[in-house]
Structure 1
Amino acid sequence: MEILSIGEKIKRTRIYKGYTLKDICEEKISVSKMSCIENGKIKPEDWILELISNKLGMDIEYLKKDVREQLKFNLNEVKVNYNKTSQAEILKYNLDYAEEYKYYDIAFEFMHILFSYYLEIKDIKSCQDNTARYYKLCRNSDSEKNKLIYYMDIGKYFYAGNEYFQAASYYNNVRKTLMKNESKDYNFLISAIYEEANCIFMMGQYENAYEILNKIIDIIKFINDSCYKAKIFNLLGRLSIGMNNGKFREFEKESYKLVENNRELKAKFIYNYGCAMLKTNMDENAYDYINEAISLYPEEVNRDFVHFILDVIKTLIQINKISQAKELCDKILNYSIDLHEDVFIEKSYYFKALIMHIENNIEMSEMYMNLSLDILMKIGDKNTIKDRYMEMGVLYFEMKNTSESLKYFNLALNMDKKI
């Protein structure tokens, strides 16, 4: 995916084949003009490109592709051949070029994919580091659609950081903007409504979330993606549990029907229902739902499975199912190490620390907490690091290590000032 200007292609090939500028110019082009072409100061005419391609044995179509065309080609390649292992570096390389040449429309698309990639791998720090640049590209691209895409991505960023009120406000802006448009992009609109309702649900405002989500029912016929329809019914089901409105079984059945052959998504839905049942009059069924979800989700050493089980472990710790949480945590720590995913390794160490603390094994809890913190310092955002410093301070206080306790409390206070 290397990007070269027309002049750079000519210069690189000329030097590789041992030609001087005079050799390729002959009597048809001045040496000074060719020098300017190679340095990008002059755009060559077609007849010059024909001459150079024949002289250097270069493919004329390759030679004619300027930086913008190469960037557009690379962008399409990224969309078609999504490769997670090398995705970030490829995207950053192309993004830098597009921004340098002021192709802000293309740069925005690369940033959108890069930002989405960071969200997908839960790299919130990288999202945080790129928000200002993303905003600048959004503004420079001068596109109403890009502004809405930017709002949606920033909403997802705030949601990933558990800042649900902030996230909801961005989704709300998208929803209201799209509702005013006569020619509505229904897929975009439905996504904004769903995400806003989900944020309100996470804030515990079930009636408000249900009212917002009900706006989808009239336009759900425009959704072709059965899995996305199922997600909507899953959220309606969770809201029904919280509201105790008697509609849960109806929405539960509809969500399962739409993902009948998708075990991963069905397992996530069952787990979501179990979590929603906690702290309701259906709490006695919650653990059964969570266990069913664990048994249904296909076990593979991949990112999706590890991410799912880490969520489950967090819930098991919260409901005091420590033995099961410990067993799963040991397995997932090994999987995370096999995947070389720092985000997962850090979270696995952290949950190990919590489990050891509950079991009164304070020394082991301290060890795993420090292992977790070492990774968090590289990948965590400021708020998460501050909270972890506070936890470390409490842990050392319990260990009667006053100096270490004060050190971490002070680090948390200093971090708070920076935030």
Structure 2
Amino acid sequence: MKILSLGEKIKLRRKELNLTLKNLAGDRITAGQISLVESGKSNPSMDLLEYLAFALNITVEYLMETEETQAEKICLYHENIAEAKILNDELEEAEKNIENSLHYAQKYNLDMRKAKDLYLKGLIYSKKKEYGNAQQNFLSANSIFIKNNSNEEVINTFLLLGKITLRLKAYHSAYSYFQQAEKVFEDSNLGDDFLIGQIYYYIGCTYFKLGIIDKSIEYSFMAQEKFRNIDNKKIYAESLLALAKEYCEKGDISNAINYSEKTLKIYKEMNNSFYVSEIENDLGKLFSDFENVEQSFIHLYKAKEIREKTNDSKIIETLCNICENYIKLKDEIKAKETLNEILQHIEKGEEKSLCDYYLLKYRVELLEGKLEEAENTLIQTLNYVKKVNFLKESAEISIMLGKFYIDNGRDNEAAKYLNEGIKVLRELKILDK
């Protein structure tokens, strides 16, 4: 892709059509006039531009397009490719496209394009778990977004900064970022239920981590309400689409476009099934932590439904959470039914999922009072995680086995497995020596 001056566009198109300066000039103008325009020594009048556009079979708009506008389009192209590559985990290719975009953004002082490139770099660093670099790029991007009043971008960046600090257990910083996202949303009147639902959800999570349970519950319910609204949007979108068609029939193109764009936006929001299922699943876990199992089931079964429809492998995670709830309720039958579902979804090579399955199976067997089977399941799981070299899990399961033997008065075996587990945790530097 190359950025062309007005003269270069005319010359390139003339050459494509095998026209000499004289051919192009015809009887209307002189070859010298065109030569001056092509060399950039003269600016053409509007009449001359219209003549050249007609003679070269191109649009006046194309000829008048500035170098900055061309650079903006090139940046957008590379950004779109970079985003697609990031989604596909092709991070090296994504970085190349971002660098290409940044080159033009800096050369032509395209502030918003530079901000988007920094934002995308932040996403790549996040994927690589290089959180310090990710934060730095997100903060740099957001300073530009704020300056340009790009409210949706500001909110999304605050959300990402909050998620990083939440992951790093800097809960007060995370709360600050999520609170800023909430304030910008309220001030900007965006009316995006999915976006504010995410903000409420993460504020609820942060309050939970800070031990402010009442507030955590309040925000979790607020998030729930917003996600419930998304379910009603299909009817709303259909009514907007009908309006768009009516305006089109009347010849009111402006309103037809306006309502069709609104319809598209809602359908795009509704299509965020991956993110909706993530948050429904996490809300389910959160309500389970509040001991509100009824609400937890509502969200977990919603996540299960979405993940089944989209063939999302994370359905195993949701089923494990559902099984945990049934164990809490001491519902042996439902817990075993869910265990069978988990096993049906586990494919070859999913070692972690298989480990989770066996640990849940152990707990269900304990619930049923089948101590011998529970012991065998735990020993089988321990041997399996050792085989696949899951060191942390092998330590945790050794300690679980030790506690099982303590509860059943088998002190020698208990000591053996407890010591084994503690030794591995120390080797992993999870426990001090």
| TM-score, scaled relative to structure 2 | 0.54
**Closer/same/farther in 2, CA of residues 290 and 205 from structure 1, 3 Å limit:** farther
Task: Give the drift of 1:130.
Answer: 1.8
Distance in 2 separating the partners of 1:229 and 1:207: 24
Instruction: Tell me which structure has the larger Cα radius of gyration.
Output: 2
Name the residue aligned to 1:345.
none
Note the alpha carbon deviations across 1:290-319, whole angstroms, 9 max, x for none: 99758625568xxxx89x879979x99xx9
The aligned runs of 1:82-231 (5 Å cut-off) are 82-83=84-85, 84=88, 85=90, 86-179=93-186, 184-203=191-210, 205-223=212-230, 224-225=270-271, 227-231=274-278
**Closer/same/farther in 2, CA of residues 258 and 207 from structure 1, 3 Å limit:** farther
Distance in 1 separating the partners of 2:388 and 2:336: 15
Name the residue aligned to 2:3.
4
Note the alpha carbon deviations across 1:117-167, whole angstroms, 9 max, x for none: 443454435414424432342244333333223212222332343434322
Distance in 2 separating the partners of 1:76 and 1:82: 11
The letter of the residue matching 1:234 is N
Q: Are 2:254 and 1:255 equivalent residues in the alignment?
A: no
Distance in 1 separating the partners of 2:307 and 2:201: 18
**Closer/same/farther in 2, CA of residues 260 and 29 from structure 1, 3 Å limit:** closer
Name the residue aligned to 1:28.
33
**Closer/same/farther in 2, CA of residues 97 and 76 from structure 1, 3 Å limit:** closer
Task: Give the drift of 1:192.
Answer: 1.1
Name the residue aligned to 2:384.
324
Partner SS, residue 308 of structure 2: coil
Name the residue aligned to 2:289.
242
Task: Give the drift of 1:255.
Answer: 3.1
The letter of the residue matching 2:290 is M
Aligned residues: 324
**Closer/same/farther in 2, CA of residues 246 and 188 from structure 1, 3 Å limit:** closer
The letter of the residue matching 2:384 is Q
Task: Give the drift of 1:51.
Answer: 6.5
Task: Answer with 112-121 or 101-110: which moved more.
Answer: 112-121
Task: Answer with 108-117 or 93-102: which moved more.
Answer: 108-117
Q: 1:164–1:203: 8 Å Cα contact kept in structure 2? A: yes
The letter of the residue matching 2:33 is K
Q: 1:206–1:242: 8 Å Cα contact kept in structure 2? A: no
Partner SS, residue 244 of structure 1: coil
Name the residue aligned to 1:386.
none
**Closer/same/farther in 2, CA of residues 277 and 251 from structure 1, 3 Å limit:** same
Task: Give the drift of 1:87.
Answer: 1.6
Distance in 2 separating the partners of 1:131 and 1:183: 21
Q: 1:159–1:167: 8 Å Cα contact kept in structure 2? A: yes
| TM-score, scaled relative to structure 1 | 0.56
**Closer/same/farther in 2, CA of residues 325 and 287 from structure 1, 3 Å limit:** farther
Partner SS, residue 27 of structure 1: helix
Partner SS, residue 260 of structure 1: helix
The letter of the residue matching 2:161 is I
Task: Give the drift of 1:189.
Answer: 1.0
**Closer/same/farther in 2, CA of residues 276 and 208 from structure 1, 3 Å limit:** farther
**Closer/same/farther in 2, CA of residues 137 and 50 from structure 1, 3 Å limit:** farther
Name the residue aligned to 2:235.
none
Task: Give the drift of 1:98.
Answer: 1.7
Task: Give the drift of 1:108.
Answer: 2.7
Note the alpha carbon deviations across 1:171-206, whole angstroms, 9 max, x for none: 222224434555622222112112222333455655
Task: Give the drift of 1:214.
Answer: 0.3
Partner SS, residue 184 of structure 1: coil
The letter of the residue matching 2:101 is N
Q: 1:154–1:170: 8 Å Cα contact kept in structure 2? A: yes
Percent sequence identity is 16
Across the aligned residues of Structure 1 and Structure 2, the Cα RMSD in angstroms comes to 5.5
Distance in 1 separating the partners of 2:68 and 2:44: 14
Name the residue aligned to 2:73.
72
Partner SS, residue 28 of structure 1: helix
Distance in 2 separating the partners of 1:309 and 1:160: 22
Note the alpha carbon deviations across 1:256-291, whole angstroms, 9 max, x for none: 23433334232232345678999x898x99999899
Q: 1 or 2 for the larger relative contact order (CA 8 Å, sep ≥6)?
A: 1
Q: 2:159–2:199: 8 Å Cα contact kept in structure 1? A: yes
Which structure 2 segments of 5+ residues have no match?
Answer: 25-29, 231-269, 361-377, 398-425
Distance in 1 separating the partners of 2:84 and 2:183: 32
Distance in 2 separating the partners of 1:71 and 1:299: 47
Match of 1:266 among 305, 312, 315: 315
Name the residue aligned to 2:345.
296
Distance in 1 separating the partners of 2:335 and 2:304: 17
Task: Give the drift of 1:94.
Answer: 0.7
Distance in 2 separating the partners of 1:122 and 1:45: 56
Task: Give the drift of 1:244.
Answer: 1.8
Q: 1:193–1:216: 8 Å Cα contact kept in structure 2? A: yes
**Closer/same/farther in 2, CA of residues 191 and 286 from structure 1, 3 Å limit:** same
The letter of the residue matching 1:90 is N
Distance in 2 separating the partners of 1:156 and 1:291: 34
The letter of the residue matching 2:200 is I
**Closer/same/farther in 2, CA of residues 392 and 190 from structure 1, 3 Å limit:** same
Note the alpha carbon deviations across 1:318-352, whole angstroms, 9 max, x for none: x99654334445xxxxxxxxxxxxxxxxxxxxx66
Q: 2:118–2:141: 8 Å Cα contact kept in structure 1? A: yes
